[in-house]
Each structure stands twice: as C-alpha cells, then as structure tokens.
A = this chain, B = another copy of it.
Amino acid sequence: MKDETTSDLVQKDVPAAVIKRLPRYHRYLGELIKSGKERISSAELSHMMGVTASQIRQDLNCFGGFGQQGYGYPVRYVYDKISDLLGTSEGYRAVIVGAGNLGRALASTHMFERRGVTILGLFDNKPWVVGTVIHGLSVYASDGLTDFCKNNKVDIGVLTVPKEAAADVTKQLIAGGVRGIWNFANMELSVTEPTVTVENIHLGDSLMNLCYQMKVNGKLPE
C-alpha cells in the first residue's frame, strides 16, 4: 500500500501536459535501467529523446528536487516516481476479450507486466478457441466474462472484438466491475458511467497521419 497523501500531493502538482509526456520518459528510463545506467544528465537524456534539456529539467523537476547540478538524475528513482504517479504500482488486473490475432499479439508482449498490469486470461466466443492456452494464458468462453471479472476483481478489459460486439462486451465488463476499457475495436465507445475510463486506440488515424506527412514531405524540394 503506498502513501496516498504524498501521491495525491504529487498528482496535484504535475500539470496535465507533463503527465502526457511521462510515459515516454518512462520508456527511455526503462531502457537505461536495462543497460545498467544509474545516473543520467538532462543533456544526455535530451540527446536521446530529441527534447531540449530545459524541457526535461522543467518536466522532471515537477515531482521532486532531484537532478542535482552536475550529478544527473538517479535513473531508477525517477523511473519509480513516474511509475507511481502513472498508476503502474496500483497492481491492476486485466482480461483480453477477443483471442484473434490482435488479442494474441497483445497477450504475447511484455507490455502489460512492464506497466504493473497482470493479464488473467483471454475470452472468446469461438468454441474451437475456448480452452486453448496462449502464452500461458487460458482462453475462456465469453459467456462467463461478467462472473469472472466479479470473482477475480478485474480492473481493465482489453477489447479486441469486432466493432459489432464491442458495445455488448463493454456492458458485460462494466457489470463485472471493470473500471477501465482499453478499446481496440475501432469505434468510439460511449460509456456513461463516470467511474469507468475508456482509452481508444485508433490505428487508422495514425495511418492517415503517416500518409498526410508523406504527402507533405513528398512536396519538399529535394
């Protein structure tokens, strides 16, 4: 159990714009930890991340007066601070609904465990998929979804079902007490419960951004 008061204080002090940038810092710091780096200066981090050193100092000073002049930031400490702030220390539990290619791809990454989220299993309605095991995770029948979420205190539902099924699955997840929906179903979910958070992934929008930038870049003088 972490110190709620400190955490609340910190949260209030960090502007929303900084919060949005923190996952990227978290990613880079994670890589530094893996490579055995213990301290890093804002100049080095600036070079790695393509952000100005003053931006980095401004962002990271938001939550603590570390980063002593000349010593650099303690990598693990900053990483843990960001983890705490972003909720990766909450111990969230998740299920993936839809055991198709995308569901399998997500189940096979380390993305969840790296962010403190435990995947408890996958759900699918195809009889030939139910009962199989994907990367050590069981695939359960969809009709048990709500009960499973209730019994296992599931916090997050990852939606990789077809668009047509998304609204119905969301209802079942919320009925099971789920408070966060990570939506890959390529449609905007309208959830009225204020306690439920939805994060939509729209890969197609990203593809369009790429095409647009390519078009603009293609018109630059060589």
Asked if A102 is at the interface of the complex by the 8 Å CB criterion, the answer is yes
List of B residues within 8 angstroms of A156 by Cβ: 210-211, 214
Asked if A182 is at the interface of the complex by the 8 Å CB criterion, the answer is yes
Least CB distance from A23 to B in Å reads 4
Main secondary structure of the interface of A (DSSP, over half): helix
Set B85, B195, B216: member contacting A222, Cβ < 8 A? B195
Set B101, B199, B217: member contacting A105, Cβ < 8 A? B101
List of B residues within 8 angstroms of A219 by Cβ: 8
Asked if A212 is at the interface of the complex by the 8 Å CB criterion, the answer is yes
Structural contact, B211 and A115, CB atoms closer than 8 A: yes
Residue of B nearest to A160 (CB): B105
Structural contact, A197 and B210, CB atoms closer than 8 A: yes
Given contact pairs A179-B217, A195-B220, A220-B194, A90 touches B26 in the complex (Cβ within 8 A): no
Set B23, B100, B104, B203: member contacting A209, Cβ < 8 A? B23
List, sorted by A's number, 29 A–B pairs whose CB atoms are closer than 8 Å. A20-B209, A22-B208, A23-B208, A23-B209, A27-B202, A27-B205, A85-B212, A86-B208, A86-B211, A86-B215, A87-B214, A88-B211, A104-B105, A111-B203, A114-B204, A115-B204, A115-B211, A117-B211, A155-B214, A156-B214, A179-B214, A182-B207, A195-B218, A195-B220, A196-B217, A197-B210, A199-B207, A199-B213, A201-B203
